[in-house]
Amino acid sequence: MTKTAVYPGSFDPVTYGHLDIAKRATNIFDHLIIAVTSNQSKKTLFSIKERVAMIKTVTKQMPKVEVQSFDGLLVEFVKAHKAKVIIRGLRAVSDFEYELQMALMNRKLESAVDTVFLMPAEPYTYLSSSVVKEIMSKGGNAAQFLPPFVEQKLRQKFSLTKK
């Protein structure tokens, strides 16, 4: 039986930190669905279609990874894909309180779904999409945090918004 996990997020944009978590998850699970959400509480720079396309491009060498978008309750998406596990990355203690709350709520909504927390490699513990966007919006170099394809897309996006 295939063990499937779902790694949800806005991934706006996907960073090396996200990819590190995905790689760690594929060492544990047979199949990983990266579930890109249209989280209404976040103002995203990239459309959901653009984010899915970027993640598909940078994960094409990861055969256990599938990328999909979703809207709605995460536990419903997880159940619909016959998964039992949600993957969440923890960078710092500050992430834990929010993530624990979400994990407990998801368990309350669907007791058969568990959350597994993974920590990224040390170089990515401070990394977030928001920080990367801030660096790039100010003309900084964020190449060390992003796959080249994603960095190029981010540069294009910021050159369009400055015009």
pLDDT band at 2 (very low <50, low <70, confident <90, very high): confident
Domain that holds residue 71: 4-125
38 in a structural domain = yes
Q: In this structure, is residue 97 part of a structural domain?
A: yes
Q: CATH number for the domain including 99?
A: 3.40.50.620
Catalytic residues: 18, 42, 91, 129
Q: Is residue 102 in some structural domain?
A: yes
Number of domains comprising the chain? 1
**Which ranges constitute the DSSP H helices of 27-91?**
48-58, 74-80
Give per-residue pLDDT as tens, 28-48: 999 999 999 986 677 899 999
